[in-house]
Structure 1
Amino acid sequence: MWRTLILSRWNPLFADLPVESIIHAHQQDYYRALAESNAEGASTLFVEFVLGVIREALMSSTEQATEQGTEQAGEQVLNLVARMGEGDYSAKSLMALIRLSHRPTFLYDYLHPAVVGRWLELTRPETPTSRKQGYRLTRSGRQLVLELRQRDGGRA
Structure 2
Amino acid sequence: MVAYQPPHTITPSIVNLIARISEEVGRLTVLADNSKELRLRRINRVRTIHGSLAIEGNNLSKEQITAILEGKRVVAPPREIQEVRNAIAAYDRFDDWSVKSEADLKEAHSVLMSGLIDEFGVYRRSGVGVIAGERVIHMAPPADRVPTLMQDLFAWLAATDDHPLIASSVFHCEFEFIHPFADGNGRMGRLWQTLILKGWNSLFADIPVESLVFEHQEEYYYALQQSTKKADSAPFIEFMLKMILDAVLSATPYDTPHDTPHVKALVEAVSGEMHRDELLSVLNLKDRKSFRELYLKPALEAGLVEMTIPDKPKSKNQRYRLTEKGKGLVYN
Question: Displacement, 1:107?
Answer: 0.6
The answer to whether the 8 Å contact 2:267/2:322 transfers is yes
User: Please, what is the CA RMSD of the aligned residues?
Assistant: 3.9
Distance 1:103 1:133 in 2: 15
Corresponding residue number in structure 1 for 2:83: none
The answer to whether the 8 Å contact 2:257/2:263 transfers is no
Question: Displacement, 1:128?
Answer: 1.3
Corresponding residue number in structure 1 for 2:312: 127
Give the structure with the larger helix fraction. 1
5+ unaligned residues in a row in structure 2: which ranges? 1-45, 81-253
Describe the shift of the 1:10–1:17 C-alpha distance in structure 2 as closer, same or farther (beyond 3 A): same
Distance 2:58 2:328 in 1: 27
Distance 2:279 2:287 in 1: 12
3-state SS, counterpart of residue 121 of structure 1: strand
Matched AA of 1:21: L
Q: Which has the larger radius of gyration?
A: 2
* Correspondence 1:14 to 2:62: yes
Corresponding residue number in structure 2 for 1:79: 265
* Correspondence 1:106 to 2:106: no
Aligned sequence identity (%):
26
TM-score normalised by the chain length of structure 1: 0.54
The answer to whether the 8 Å contact 2:257/2:298 transfers is no
Corresponding residue number in structure 2 for 1:97: 282
Matched AA of 1:126: D
Distance 1:47 1:88 in 2: 34
4+ long deviations beyond 6 Å: 68-71
The answer to whether the 8 Å contact 1:10/1:126 transfers is no
TM-score normalised by the chain length of structure 2: 0.27
Q: In the comparison of the two structures, how many residue pairs are matched? A: 107
